[in-house]
Amino acid sequence: MAEKAKSYDLVVIGSGPAGYRAAVQAAKMKRSVAIVEATPGRLGGTWIHTGTIPSKSLRESMDAIHSIRFHAGGKWVDRIIRDLPAAKLMGHAFKVAQYEESLVRRYCERYSIDIIEGFGMLEDAHTIRVARLNGESQLINAANILLATGSRPRRPADVPFDGWRVVDADEVLRLENVPKSVLIYGAGVIGCEYACIFAALGAETTIIDGRGTIMQYADQEIALALKKTMEEAGVKFVLGSKMADAKIRGASVVMTLENQATLEAEVLFYAAGRSPNTEKIGLARLAIKTNEKGEVLVNKSFQTTTPNIYACGDIIGSPALAATSAAQGRYAALHMFGTKPQEFPRLYPIGVYTIPELSSVGKTEQELKLMGVEFVVGRAHYHEVARGYIRGDDHGLLKLLVCRKTHRILGIHIVGHDACNLVHIGLAYMQRGGHAQDLVNMIFNYPTLAEAYGIAAFNALNKLFLDGEIGDPPVEVALAPADVATAEAAATAAAMPIKGHSVA
């Protein structure tokens, strides 16, 4: 039996980073807001409960333990890992998740955002039906609606998932014990992050992928440096052949590849792709367009083909990061209720929480070559930086891609300790059209890893100023009006994020 409909300025379906940030932004602008959440008692979705927060918490614990290897020796690390109960590690991860959820609830209460538990479905452009677990339903009226239902791990029908020996990204953290051996299918972000965690926990870890490289959208020099570090940590790679079959045999899983090779382990973690949660939410009823993957199509303001209905986060596809999803939600709310035009940032960083971290912003070498842009590369290896040597970080690398003609920074790629923090220094310069000279002329604290920016900038500019005296960047001549559009298009292309991470 349906209850009488209540009206809001904004109703958000989904409480992940996109939905939550949109709700808070709208509430700050004195609008009435409600969040519809399908999972009873659990705000935050994958972001808080099965993905970002618990996995990064577990990764942080393992990185902290292994960071003492250079200083205290491997025997101490092995002893700590051997004596560390898996339940304690998992317990800490879920404790962090609970704390993060409590912050979300606190802010919802502060800004009087209503939380409505149930499965939200579009009835029409201004009405949502919320189906509750007890079979009852509730209608809600909304001037604006935001779809932020997120995504889920892709689960092919021929993969024998059982939540124990064959698991996906939502199930992997529920394993009661650390397996002695694990096969990870997928050499993307999720697969590589968990491979580092399992290897750090002492599991025999193998990554399998049909592609010949890991992190195919990353700068390949940086990806190869990460791969080498992971191999030294014990991770094995089987690349270039897809999975043909997987079968559970007793307490093990046997995977057969297309090249007829077989691999066996206690656990198979399938980490090849995610699917948007767009089924059964009423998209067809309003003829809201999606692509062949089921991702909702939106314009630059995150509006769907029904203008008062917006979509943000994983539901619209790449980049599908917590940070970008949160920003999308905020910008969508500003477009709904704001008074000045807001444009979503063209540049944003990509962070991969492997051990060590990988982070990047801007173009890769391979992309600039395809675009025909002439550039020079500046490199700073961590062992050249005092702080890196102190830490014993032999494989860290900070790489700058600098336009040969303008000396502007076109790409920054880092693998090594604290990469996901360090990238923001360069991002700040890139957003303002910064030149490599800006980094050369900046004084960094000593000893810090941030000094790598200065070393990499010097390395790049030394290739442009062969007499050793670094001059100012070239004066960029003002263009005639007819040439402005062409120049702006070229500049925009050079500044866009790496392929596969552009905003829909």
pLDDT tens, residue by residue, 173-198 = 888 788 999 999 999 999 999 999 99
∠ Cα 175 180 185 (to 5°):
70
Q: Is 350 a member of any domain?
A: no
Tell me the mean pLDDT in the region 450-478.
91
Domain termination site, one of 230, 249, 272: 272
The token duo for 141 is 């009226």
Residue ranges of alpha helices (H) inside 214-293 are 220-232
pLDDT at position 363, please? 96
Q: Is 504 a member of any domain?
A: no
pLDDT at position 496, please? 43
In this structure, the answer to whether residues 144 and 175 fall within a common structural domain is no
In this structure, the answer to whether residues 282 and 147 fall within a common structural domain is yes
Q: How confident is the model at residue 85 (pLDDT cuts 50, 70, 90)?
A: low
Res. 243: pLDDT tops 50: yes
pLDDT at position 257, please? 97
pLDDT at position 42, please? 83
Q: How confident is the model at residue 482 (pLDDT cuts 50, 70, 90)?
A: very low
Note the pLDDT tens digit of each residue in 381-420: 999 999 998 888 878 999 999 999 999 999 999 999 999 9
pLDDT at position 417, please? 93
Query: Residue 178's domain spans which residues?
Result: 166-272
Res. 484: pLDDT tops 50: no
Task: Compute the half-sphere exposure of residue 342: CA atoms within 13 Å on the CB side of its CA.
Answer: 16
In this structure, the answer to whether residues 146 and 230 fall within a common structural domain is no
pLDDT at position 83, please? 62
Q: Is 348 a member of any domain?
A: no
Q: How confident is the model at residue 483 (pLDDT cuts 50, 70, 90)?
A: very low
pLDDT at position 438, please? 95
Q: Is 26 a member of any domain?
A: yes
Residue 217 and residue 288: Cα distance in Å, rounded?
Answer: 30
Res. 68: pLDDT tops 80: no
In this structure, the answer to whether residues 124 and 206 fall within a common structural domain is no
Q: How confident is the model at residue 86 (pLDDT cuts 50, 70, 90)?
A: low
pLDDT at position 96, please? 87
Cα separation values, 415 from 93, 128, 225, 447, Å = 24, 45, 7, 18
Q: Is 45 a member of any domain?
A: yes
Res. 157: pLDDT tops 70: yes
Q: Is 49 a member of any domain?
A: yes
H or E element at residue 182: strand 181-185
Q: Hey, which bits of 299-428 come out as E strands?
A: 309-311, 350-352, 358-362, 375-381, 397-403, 409-415
Strand order from edge to edge, sheet including 252-257:
243-249, 252-257, 262-265
Tell me the mean pLDDT in the region 135-149.
95
* Model pTM score: 0.89
- Give residue for tokens 């618990």: 54
Better pLDDT: 153 or 50: 153
Domain termination site, one of 272, 291, 315: 272
pLDDT at position 410, please? 97
Angle of helix 74-83 relative to helix 52-66, nearest 10 degrees? 140
Distance from the first to the final alpha carbon of the chain: 39
Q: What share of the chain has pLDDT > 90, as a percent?
A: 72
In this structure, the answer to whether residues 325 and 388 fall within a common structural domain is no
* C-alpha closest to that of 457 among 426, 494, 503: 426
In this structure, the answer to whether residues 454 and 306 fall within a common structural domain is no
pLDDT at position 489, please? 45
* C-alpha closest to that of 249 among 223, 270, 268: 268
- What rounded mean pLDDT belongs to the chain? 89
Residue 353 and residue 348: Cα distance in Å, rounded?
Answer: 16
H or E element at residue 138: strand 137-147
Domain termination site, one of 272, 294, 329: 272
Q: How confident is the model at residue 479 (pLDDT cuts 50, 70, 90)?
A: very low
Cα separation values, 208 from 253, 268, 270, 374, Å = 14, 10, 10, 35
Three-state SS for 82-127 is HHCCHHHHHHHHHHHHHHHHHHHHHHHHHCCCEEEECEEEEEECCE
In this structure, the answer to whether residues 419 and 322 fall within a common structural domain is no
In this structure, the answer to whether residues 13 and 149 fall within a common structural domain is yes
Residue 337 and residue 327: Cα distance in Å, rounded?
Answer: 16
The token duo for 447 is 């000893």
In this structure, the answer to whether residues 331 and 479 fall within a common structural domain is no
Note the pLDDT tens digit of each residue in 199-214: 998 899 999 999 999 9
pLDDT at position 394, please? 79
Residue 483 and residue 490: Cα distance in Å, rounded?
Answer: 11
In this structure, the answer to whether residues 32 and 112 fall within a common structural domain is yes
Residue 247 and residue 268: Cα distance in Å, rounded?
Answer: 10
Cα separation values, 176 from 61, 136, 173, 429, Å = 18, 36, 8, 46
In this structure, the answer to whether residues 369 and 441 fall within a common structural domain is yes
Q: How confident is the model at residue 87 (pLDDT cuts 50, 70, 90)?
A: low
* Contact present, 349 and 426 (Cβ < 8 Å): no
Cβ contacts of 50 within 8 Å, gap of 6 or more = 169, 170, 173
Per the structure, the count of domains in the chain is 3
Tell me the mean pLDDT in the region 236-254.
95
pLDDT at position 67, please? 75
Q: Hey, which bits of 348-441 come out as E strands?
A: 350-352, 358-362, 375-381, 397-403, 409-415
pLDDT at position 3, please? 55
pLDDT at position 175, please? 84
Tell me the mean pLDDT in the region 157-161.
95
Q: How confident is the model at residue 76 (pLDDT cuts 50, 70, 90)?
A: low
* C-alpha closest to that of 357 among 192, 188, 185, 184: 192
Tell me the mean pLDDT in the region 141-168.
95
Note the pLDDT tens digit of each residue in 352-391: 999 999 999 999 999 999 999 999 999 999 999 999 988 8
Q: Is 351 a member of any domain?
A: no
In this structure, the answer to whether residues 88 and 99 fall within a common structural domain is yes
Q: Hey, which bits of 281-436 come out as E strands?
A: 309-311, 350-352, 358-362, 375-381, 397-403, 409-415
Q: Is 344 a member of any domain?
A: no
The token duo for 377 is 């590369």
Residue 377: CATH number of its domain? 3.30.390.30
Residue 113: CATH number of its domain? 3.50.50.60
